[in-house]
């Protein structure tokens, strides 16, 4: 029932939607979103979505608004009022107070002929045939429709502003989501040790280097350029084939053309490269020179994986 109501929203759209988007986009103020009951909860979510996508927004509870919180509304702000019926007592008191000021008002309502619908500058129609509640009482379908309409506004504004993933990262610096957007390979590799040997390094010294640097790998370098890689697996394969490796050097067991990544690359790119090649370490380069190692454990520690 709710999915059908959402699908029907597109049939209810008219010029008021595009005019509302342009109003919000060109506004020099904030978006004040108000409602009561379940509509207030939806208003809070829409506020959060707008704030996270580059449109400053503030929630104002409709009941609190008529008891002092009207002072939240500044001259250049645009008000969005959410109400299924558009005729609740608090809305009927609040709407004329808003209309007495210079602010434009957008209604998100399921009744365009309601008090709210008739007094708003623009009406976004979220009419639903019936609530999903078997008693047709608890706001279910109607609040879903309100939520979707709010997302539609937010996405349109996001696209108009050219809001990119870099912009998104500014507003989401915390948690795994934020780290996927801003954490770079250098942020992890710079705190790791930098295991390296030359082609002529004896295998005993290779083992010591890998053990001391505790990354399960060492780069093989010439003039600070990566020419190969030796992993714990390479050592195990060598030992399975010979008991005497006293005359072996790094070049005898190294893997050529190892997978490398630039230190400016995003950490999530390192994760994808590791997954694609079924490996747990990547050698890191900076301007073509060896710069360290990033390990699968680094990605896990940072919550990327």
Binding positions for Zn(2+): 61
The sheet with strand 105-109 has its strands ordered as 57-61, 31-35, 78-83, 105-109, 122-125
Calpha distance 71→90 (Å, rounded): 17
Q: Which two tokens stand for residue 25?
A: 């986009």
Of the CA atoms within 13 Å of residue 279, those in its CB half-sphere come to 24
Structure tokens at 175: 């948690």
Residues 6+ apart with CB under 8 A from 168: 52, 53, 181
Chain centre to alpha carbon of residue 138: 32
* Feature table: binding site: 61
How far is 12 from 305, CA to CA, in rounded Å? 42
* Alpha carbon 236 to its chain's center: 42
Give the integer Cα–Cα distance in Å for 251 and 257: 12
What's the DSSP call for residue 43? H
CA distances from 150 to 48, 86, 126, 142, 282 (A): 11, 17, 10, 13, 43
Identify whether the C-beta of residue 34 lies closer than 8 Å to the C-beta of residue 103. no
Locate 185 and state its tokens: 């390979």
Buried b (16+ CB within 10 A) or exposed e, 92-127: eebbeebeeeebbbbbbbbbbebbbbebbbbbbbbb
Residue of 192, 169, 188, 186 whose CA lies nearest to 299: 188
């Amino acid at each position: 029932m709710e999915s059908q109501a959402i699908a029907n929203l597109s049939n209810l759209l008219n010029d008021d939607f595009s005019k509302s988007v342009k109003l919000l986009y060109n506004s020099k103020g904030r978006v004040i979103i108000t409602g009561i009951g379940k509509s207030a909860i939806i208003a809070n979510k829409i506020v959060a979505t707008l704030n996270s996508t580059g449109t400053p927004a503030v929630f104002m509870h409709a009941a609190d608004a008529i008891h002092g919180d009207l002072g939240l509304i500044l001259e250049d702000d645009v008000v969005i009022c959410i109400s299924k019926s558009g005729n609740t007592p608090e809305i009927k008191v609040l709407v004329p107070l808003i209309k007495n000021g210079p602010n434009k008002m957008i209604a998100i309502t399921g009744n365009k002929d309601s008090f709210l619908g008739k007094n708003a500058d623009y009406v976004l129609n979220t009419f639903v045939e019936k609530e999903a509640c078997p008693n047709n009482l608890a706001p279910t379908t109607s609040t879903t429709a309100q939520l979707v309409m709010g997302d539609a506004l937010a996405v349109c504004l996001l696209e108009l502003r050219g809001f990119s993933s870099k912009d998104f990262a500014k507003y989401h610096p915390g948690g795994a989501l934020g780290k996927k957007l801003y954490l770079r390979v250098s942020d992890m590799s710079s705190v790791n040790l930098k295991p390296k040997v030359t082609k002529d390094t004896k295998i005993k010294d290779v083992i010591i280097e890998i053990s001391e640097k505790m990354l399960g790998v060492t780069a093989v370098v010439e003039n600070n350029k990566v020419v190969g890689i030796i992993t714990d697996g390479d050592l195990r394969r060598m030992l399975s084939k010979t008991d005497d490796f006293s005359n072996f050097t790094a070049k005898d067991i190294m893997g050529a053309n190892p997978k490398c990544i630039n230190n400016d690359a995003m950490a999530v790119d390192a994760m994808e490269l590791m997954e694609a090649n079924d490996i747990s370490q990547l050698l890191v380069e900076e301007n073509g020179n060896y710069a360290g190692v990033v390990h699968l454990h680094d990605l896990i520690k940072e919550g990327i994986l």
